[in-house]
Structure 1
Amino acid sequence: MEFVPVYYKDSLTIINPNGHVGVVTLWSKPQAVIEKFKEAGVDLNESSSPIAAFGTLYGNGLKHLLANLLYNPQITHILICGRDTGGSLQHLLNFFNKGVEKETQLGITSNRVIGTSRFLPDVLTPELFKSAPKLTYIGSDPEFKKKLNDFFDNLPARLDKTEFERISVELPEITPSYFPSNPLSHTIVKDTPLEAWKELIFCLDRFGRMVELEPDKRRKELQNVKVIVESPTEEDNELLNPFGFSIEELRDYQSRVMSDIVEGDYGYGNRIRAYFDVDALEVCIEKLKKNREDRRSYIVLWDSRTDLTDTERSSPCLATIFLRVFDNKLTLSATFRVHNALDAWVKNFYALMAIQKHVAELTGISAGAITVISHSISINPDEGYEKVQMIVRQLRDNFKFEADPNGQFRFKIEDGQIVAEHIFNGEKLGEYRSKKAERIQYELRRDRAISDIGHAIFVGRQLAKAERCLQTGEAFTEDL
């Protein structure tokens, strides 16, 4: 039986198709490992070598390796060497030694290799292997040559058995319910309320985790989402109407929020201006008039006496408001206990704009950014999803440039080194120098010099280009 790879044929280095040993080089380049084998005098002849093929194991390659082994049961020994950068070694060892268990990832039920974070399609299990290959790890330490020779000196001859049976496994395409992210750390920064809201809906659709709040009530949820709007100004109906909003409706909501009249079980204006026997807005205004650096202009709407204990009545979603002068601008930060992203977020944000405007006018302080932190924010996948998909399509087709608030970079080659100059508002803040792009990459990360992923990708392209030009001697021209 000859070695016939089902997956990654072009990425494998085949030595002897009739061999019964597979060499896994983990994160090391196969050619570098092959050179070490040659130095050790290992037989690499295409007709006599016991080695069928060399291949790496990084990224998501474990499932392809296992499928290839099932289709080539004559591979009775796996020799593992090279750098184990991503934990691939343990994934492979644990699959055969400990097995797998069912677990859900990205909303899909899969097989997780026990003792690891590696997931495999549920069509791959150790039980499929009638006779599991013997695994031998020799690493890449100073004893490598000796261990290598010991392995081949003690390697049994190839078994010539007719009962070898190829098992063909088709690896399924994955359709995740959501994409991987840290669901507790999403931050959105935009200039206007509507642009921020659209980005918020996009993130919820892509990264939100499905939760069952109660029977027949499910939501796509993220937690502790922070949205910063740097220029919180009204938008006109031409922008609002396509999404089901109108400026008239939003202004009406603003006036109701500024009122101290109770609406239903509670009212935001009532909680702010009357419920606790104090008009908190007026108190904050007086504090800021007396001291622009005051940090006690903090308003709490949540009443634990009733909101925490009386589950029969509704309770406020808006929990706190913090008014603070920062960089000579009046900023407002608000926290929401729960948030309906599709229908309520824009209305709530316009309400915060009204509160900020009221305080700004009476204190004479220019209004600045508004920050909204939503502890639990969600969309209903069973209602209004046509609007969600419209927003998602718009953003996927939008490749608008957005400047990185951490500054920009200019690149050049000077004195045999790559130079990355850190620029902010036309001024040079410093520079990074090295012959290696990788070194500058790590220094930029250490200094948190880049905050935007698009900018980071651009910087990476320029560093790679500069390093290539440094090596080849060709002239370097920075992309603009």
Structure 2
Amino acid sequence: MTVAGKATKFEYKALHKPNQLNYGSGQTAVITGWTVKQAIAKHLQPQEYAVIGQLYSPTRGINLLIRNLLFNPHVRFLVVLNASKEDKNAGACECLLDFFRNGVEESLSDIGRRAWVIRSPIPGYIDIEIDINTLEKLRYSVEYKEVKSIAEAVNLAKSYAQREILEPWGLRLEFPMSTVEPTVLPGTRYGHRIEGKTIAETWVKIIHRIKTTGTIRPTGYDGQWQELIDLMAIITDEPADFYFPEPNYLPIDRPFLEEYVSQILDDAPYREGLKYTYGQRLRSWFGRDQIGQVIQKLIGEIDAASAVMNLWDVKDHEKGGSPCLNHIWLRVVDNELSLTATLRSNDMFAAWPANAMGLRALQRHIRDEIAKRSKYELKMGPLITISQSAHIYDDTWDNAERLIANQYAAIFNQRSYYDPSGNFLIEVDGKEIVISHTTAGSGEVIKSYRGKNPLNLLREICATSPAIQPEHTGYLGIELQKASNCIKSCQLYIQDQ
């Protein structure tokens, strides 16, 4: 950098997410929202911008973006591209603009953490450790403007580059940042099963499982994630209008969901800078309306096992930016329509609730269309998602811990004791323990066990019925030992007493 008024080159240094930015030598930061940053960068020369980067989330991204700007005070201009439906849904660019328009106030985040809350209808937070006077100085030192198209963003960046070079508004500033180091317990690496009645309930269980036993790995971008491999989530009773807890602890709300569902159900025209939507991949990407295809497939062959939709394009290997949702399978069994979706990579904290609700909406749409066009009146079956990489990014670990602390115990205590593997009636006959295994529904006896050693009996039961729920297995162990103790002490044994 040289004196003001003369040609100079600035160097942008990012403290956070450095590998996700395009760097130049100018004084303008371009925020592209959900539009891919290369769609802007390819039209500009490096001297015409300081940095170009995307902004997806107001609650996760703005805080890091502000920290990076404070460390690069030579940035004097800000271009915010707030153009797409995805930008509107996420609200990140609008919230960033509200920071510069309206500032912040000290309050609590949605998880109860002290923070600078941006004065915006869209929730956005900045760490309380950052000095308020510095935030105010940043607001008044950077000229910002919202744009609505790639062309407008490029033209504005070029016009800023023609202006006289300005002195940095201050020195590089870095503020302390708290980190959360999770305690990881031993657990299975591959293959996990979690079931709940609603998406909200299942989500809390998923976050608890990942935070408890997930492996910590580098993300391949910047930072770390905590991950389980091949996590199957089963939602059995999500209501037609979706369940949102009160107060709502989910990372989405109803207005967001309404917009998101359209991205799965509806086709979308190609727009420069936006990769695709799931609806585009399902409706037109391969030259076929796959949603329409599976509806007709099931009407013609209701028990077909080939009602499959595919979102993966073999060209994705070459282009990059491949969809996280890869495969959807519909199946009718006993007049019940289930949907199974495979996701290769799944942000379970921020994205999975929206993914699951969008897929449930698709499942209901297919069920309703089959009813309209045929004689079949199908029941809504379970929604199953298989997340091959089920992970939580390190910038949400603190939020995940608070979610677990606030919600997991209540959800766990509301658990159902129903076990599809059946029930076990335990009695004592002389010197032996007798166990009758009955069906979960009718109570019909399907198998009997008899013996004196409670551990051997438990092992035999588990070997015969390996799908027994873990809590049920523990209960059996306790009751069998009680029965054995009663035999030894010549006392009367009554189950559950």
Q: TM-score, normalised by structure 2?
A: 0.58
1:334 aligns with 2:341: yes
Counterparts of 1:88-127 in structure 2 under 5 Å?
none
* 8 Å Cα contact 2:438-2:446 kept in structure 1: yes
Aligned to 1:451: 468
Say if 1:196 and 1:182 are closer, same or farther in 2 by CA, change over 3 A.
same
CA–CA distance in structure 2, aligned partners of residues 384 and 472 of structure 1: 52
Q: CA deviation at 1:295?
A: 1.5
Local SS of the residue matching 2:255: helix
Structure 1 residues 271-280 or 181-190, which shifts more? 181-190
Say if 1:401 and 1:221 are closer, same or farther in 2 by CA, change over 3 A.
closer
Aligned to 2:331: 324
1:272 aligns with 2:282: yes
* 8 Å Cα contact 1:196-1:229 kept in structure 2: yes
Q: Which amino acid aligns with 2:252?
A: F
Say if 1:279 and 1:250 are closer, same or farther in 2 by CA, change over 3 A.
same
Counterparts of 1:175-190 in structure 2 under 5 Å?
177-190=183-196
CA–CA distance in structure 1, aligned partners of residues 483 and 469 of structure 2: 21
Aligned to 2:426: 411
Picking from 297, 303, 311, the partner of 1:301 is 311
Q: CA deviation at 1:393?
A: 4.5
Counterparts of 1:5-404 in structure 2 under 5 Å?
177-214=183-220, 216-233=222-239, 234-239=241-246, 241-262=248-269, 264-305=274-315, 307-311=316-320, 314-364=321-371, 365-383=378-396, 385-396=398-409, 398-402=412-416, 403-404=418-419
CA–CA distance in structure 2, aligned partners of residues 330 and 240 of structure 1: 31
Picking from 423, 436, 443, the partner of 2:438 is 423
- Deviations, residues 43-80 of structure 1 (Å, cap 9, x unaligned): xxxxxxxxxxxxxxxxxxxxxxxxxxxxxxxxxxxxxx
Say if 1:388 and 1:254 are closer, same or farther in 2 by CA, change over 3 A.
farther
Q: CA deviation at 1:470?
A: 1.2
Local SS of the residue matching 1:477: coil
* 8 Å Cα contact 1:407-1:449 kept in structure 2: no
1:462 aligns with 2:479: yes
Larger radius of gyration: 1
CA–CA distance in structure 1, aligned partners of residues 244 and 415 of structure 2: 25
Percentage identity across aligned positions? 27
Local SS of the residue matching 2:191: coil
Q: CA deviation at 1:308?
A: 0.9
Structure 1 stretches of 4+ with a deviation exceeding 3 A read 234-240
Q: CA deviation at 1:297?
A: 0.8
* 8 Å Cα contact 1:236-1:247 kept in structure 2: no
CA–CA distance in structure 2, aligned partners of residues 301 and 216 of structure 1: 27
Say if 1:300 and 1:363 are closer, same or farther in 2 by CA, change over 3 A.
same
Say if 1:401 and 1:355 are closer, same or farther in 2 by CA, change over 3 A.
closer
Q: CA deviation at 1:283?
A: 0.9
Q: CA deviation at 1:273?
A: 0.8
* 8 Å Cα contact 2:234-2:383 kept in structure 1: yes
Structure 1 residues 281-290 or 446-455, which shifts more? 446-455
Q: Which amino acid aligns with 1:308?
A: H
Say if 1:428 and 1:449 are closer, same or farther in 2 by CA, change over 3 A.
farther
CA–CA distance in structure 1, aligned partners of residues 385 and 244 of structure 2: 23
CA–CA distance in structure 2, aligned partners of residues 404 and 456 of structure 1: 11
Q: CA deviation at 1:327?
A: 2.4
Q: CA deviation at 1:396?
A: 3.7
* 8 Å Cα contact 2:223-2:394 kept in structure 1: no
* 8 Å Cα contact 2:200-2:244 kept in structure 1: no
Q: Which amino acid aligns with 1:198?
A: V
CA–CA distance in structure 2, aligned partners of residues 459 and 298 of structure 1: 41
CA–CA distance in structure 1, aligned partners of residues 256 and 397 of structure 2: 19
Q: Which amino acid aligns with 2:296?
A: E
- Deviations, residues 147-188 of structure 1 (Å, cap 9, x unaligned): xxxxxxxxxxxxxxxxxxxxxxxxxxxx98311111211110
Local SS of the residue matching 2:394: coil
Say if 1:353 and 1:188 are closer, same or farther in 2 by CA, change over 3 A.
same
Local SS of the residue matching 2:219: strand
Q: CA deviation at 1:432?
A: 1.1
1:475 aligns with 2:483: no
Local SS of the residue matching 2:319: coil
CA–CA distance in structure 2, aligned partners of residues 221 and 387 of structure 1: 13
Aligned-residue CA RMSD (Å): 2.0
Structure 1 residues 213-222 or 435-444, which shifts more? 213-222
Aligned to 2:43: none
Q: Which amino acid aligns with 2:486?
A: C
Q: Report 1 or 2 for greater relative contact order, CA contacts < 8 Å, sequence distance ≥ 6.
A: 2
CA–CA distance in structure 2, aligned partners of residues 344 and 432 of structure 1: 47
Aligned to 1:54: none
Aligned to 1:106: none
Structure 1 residues 401-410 or 240-249, which shifts more? 240-249
Q: Which amino acid aligns with 2:399?
A: E
* 8 Å Cα contact 2:346-2:390 kept in structure 1: yes
CA–CA distance in structure 1, aligned partners of residues 191 and 432 of structure 2: 37
Say if 1:384 and 1:441 are closer, same or farther in 2 by CA, change over 3 A.
closer
Aligned to 2:163: none
Local SS of the residue matching 1:294: coil
Q: CA deviation at 1:381?
A: 2.2
CA–CA distance in structure 2, aligned partners of residues 329 and 179 of structure 1: 38
* 8 Å Cα contact 1:260-1:273 kept in structure 2: yes
Aligned residues: 303
1:437 aligns with 2:447: no
CA–CA distance in structure 2, aligned partners of residues 374 and 411 of structure 1: 39
Local SS of the residue matching 1:287: helix
Q: Which amino acid aligns with 2:436?
A: E
Aligned to 1:52: none
Q: Which amino acid aligns with 1:453?
A: P
CA–CA distance in structure 1, aligned partners of residues 484 and 233 of structure 2: 38
CA–CA distance in structure 2, aligned partners of residues 388 and 230 of structure 1: 26
Say if 1:189 and 1:215 are closer, same or farther in 2 by CA, change over 3 A.
closer
Q: CA deviation at 1:211?
A: 0.6
Q: Which amino acid aligns with 1:399?
A: N
- Deviations, residues 428-471 of structure 1 (Å, cap 9, x unaligned): 22221112212211211111255211111111000000011111
Local SS of the residue matching 2:318: coil
Say if 1:377 and 1:240 are closer, same or farther in 2 by CA, change over 3 A.
farther
Aligned to 1:143: none
